[in-house]
Amino acid sequence: MNSKTGMFKRLAVPMGSLLVLLAAGCGGGDPILGGTGGTGVASLDTIRPRVTLTQPATTNPGPTLVAPSNAAITVTFTEAMAPATLSGTSFTVTSGGPGANPAGNVTYNSGSRTATFTPLAVLAVGTTYTATISALAADLAGNQLAGNQSALPVASNYVWTFTATAPDLTAPTVILANPANLATGVAINGTVNATFSKAMDLATLSTATFTVQPTGPPLGALVLGAVAYDALTRIATFTPSSPLAPSTQYTATIAGAKDLAGNALAAGLIPNPWTFTTGTTLAPAAVALGSAGTYGIMATAAITNTGAATIINGDVSLEPGTSCGLLPVQVNGTIHINDTVSHQARTDLLVAYNFAKNLPPGTTISGGADLGALYPLGIPPGTYTSGSTMLVSTPLALDAGGNANATWIFQIGSSLTTTANVSLINGAQAKNVFWVPTLDGTVGVGTSFCGTIVSGRDVTAKTGSVINGRILAGATLAGTIALDTNTVNVPAP
């Protein structure tokens, strides 16, 4: 630990020492890490970026067998990357077969956090290629890539293989629009979204190809705004620069967009252009986490961990307390204990908890009801309120309906218990899901969970569960987090 900053640095720890260090933990009195004090300087970004999506998809073991020979190759990261670190040197495609090493151009789009390798010629069908993102690729803070060739704490390359298949000649279409065609009462501060049938070339999605304007007739002036594309959900989002006019009909149009193989957008079942009419209300906002947003886990009493394979892709905070069962090699970020940074994070946690609890009650969920059984086809965005416990005993899908900014807030009067998977569909994002139990939360054995838990007291992650979100425990009472062979992935911003 750096005694001047109160921050723990990554250490290269021999695996033979791992279980001994797990017993020692990362709290005060640790013979290797030292004490827990410090002046508490502002939190630094030490989280290594990771690859979250590739096109062609990454398979393990490879090679991926569906890879159109005329399509560009893309990589999407968990964080904004330094553009200078993504080039033909750090993003390469190679092969020992016919076609050898294809020449191509590498570009990076900061809005979508996606790098693209565009071959200058069609790849050789039947040839297996290796795509590599070098460990030298770094985020804006200079943290190099956490790839798939070595375990943390070291940086490593991200490598995957694919076999080129026949060219893709199928045109993409819009398969979902939000607001939907002819929708009324649309929130004036909302966004306009289109979901595509295929992965798209983000260079063809801009305010020149995705427009919104008053319907008229004639069509009014173009609404000023910005266009972003999410490669994971295949959703393009137009965000107006200012709220839309109330009680006004608008026309949204996408023209000129292409997929990764260069096929132009075609007409589909969803009208394009399409129209919608605004109302007079505002869409609910997500819960602001403040400085707590960078943390994968945060506790106000203790952190225990019984799994050597536990990985936290995010920062860790403990305040007050000294008992932390995590090693630096298990944290892709920084551990803060009883310093100024952890103090501010705890303050922000309480603010976020109170904000969520004080929102007007939403859809009533009876005590002990199973959300998966109540919403077998998917639960739409909104606020859901239970005066008692809330369960997920049947798989639950959070259905955004194509709205990339859809938000869920679960106000839970007692405790949350899940024993089944919680998944995201139709553009739902983990960063916009908040579970707020007054007391405790439990994530079931071997399950996948999505969203941020903001608990009043304790949270337990059972063996093998994966949390795509955060565990922030102890907003109002001494909160302990118990981990056992878990992965926690802080959502991309």
Residue-wise pLDDT for 47-68, tens only, equals 999 999 999 999 999 999 999 9
Residue 6 lies in a domain: no
Q: Are residues 115 and 146 in the same domain?
A: yes
Q: What is the mean pLDDT of residues 360-365?
A: 97
Residue 405 lies in a domain: yes
Q: Are residues 249 and 337 in the same domain?
A: no
* Residue 12: predicted pLDDT: 34
* Residue 21: predicted pLDDT: 34
* Residue 99: predicted pLDDT: 61
* Residue 38: predicted pLDDT: 36
Looking at the chain, the whole-number percentage of residues with pLDDT higher than 70 is 91
Residue 398 lies in a domain: yes
Residue-wise pLDDT for 65-78, tens only, equals 999 999 999 999 99
Instruction: Tell me: pLDDT of 192 over 80.
Output: yes
The domain boundary, picked from 118, 141, 163, lies at 163
Interatomic CA distance for residues 298 and 369, integer angstroms: 28
Query: What residues does 258 pair with on adjacent strands?
Result: 264
* Residue 199: predicted pLDDT: 97
* Residue 284: predicted pLDDT: 85
Instruction: Tell me: pLDDT of 483 over 60.
Output: yes
* Residue 8: predicted pLDDT: 37
Residue 3 lies in a domain: no
The domain boundary, picked from 278, 297, 313, lies at 278
Q: Are residues 306 and 444 in the same domain?
A: yes
User: How many domains does the structure of the chain reveal?
Assistant: 3
Looking at the chain, the whole-number percentage of residues with pLDDT higher than 90 is 87
Q: Are residues 408 and 319 in the same domain?
A: yes
Q: Are residues 376 and 231 in the same domain?
A: no
Sheet strands (E) in 203-281: 210-214, 225-230, 235-240, 249-254, 274-278
Residue 201 lies in a domain: yes
CATH code of residue 220: 2.60.40.1220
The domain boundary, picked from 257, 278, 299, lies at 278
Q: Quick one: pLDDT band at residue 42, thresholds 50, 70, 90?
A: low
The average confidence (pLDDT) of the chain is 91
Q: Are residues 463 and 340 in the same domain?
A: yes
Instruction: Tell me: pLDDT of 336 over 50.
Output: yes
Rounded to a whole number of angstroms, the CA Rg of the chain reads 24
Q: What is the mean pLDDT of residues 252-257?
A: 98
Q: Is 161 helix (H, G, I), strand (E, B) or coil?
A: strand
Q: What is the mean pLDDT of residues 40-51?
A: 80
What per-residue string of b and e applies to 72-86 under the rule 16 or more CB within 10 Å gives b?
bbbbbbbbbbbeebb
Residue-wise pLDDT for 103-131, tens only, equals 999 999 999 999 999 999 999 999 999 99
* Residue 492: predicted pLDDT: 87
Q: Are residues 368 and 478 in the same domain?
A: yes
Q: Torsion angle of alpha carbons 395, 399, 404, 409, nearest 10°?
A: -70
Residue 321 lies in a domain: yes
Q: Are residues 330 and 410 in the same domain?
A: yes
Instruction: Tell me: pLDDT of 40 over 90.
Output: no
Query: What residues does 117 pair with on adjacent strands?
Result: 73, 106
* Domain limits for position 359: 15-41+286-489
Residue 221 lies in a domain: yes
Q: Are residues 141 and 231 in the same domain?
A: no
| pTM for the structure as a whole | 0.89
Q: Are residues 380 and 432 in the same domain?
A: yes
Residue 248 lies in a domain: yes
Q: Are residues 440 and 415 in the same domain?
A: yes
- Do the bridges between strand 104-109 and strand 114-119 make them parallel or antiparallel, or are there none, so unpaired? antiparallel
Which helix (DSSP H) or strand (DSSP E) does residue 373 occupy?
A: helix 371-374
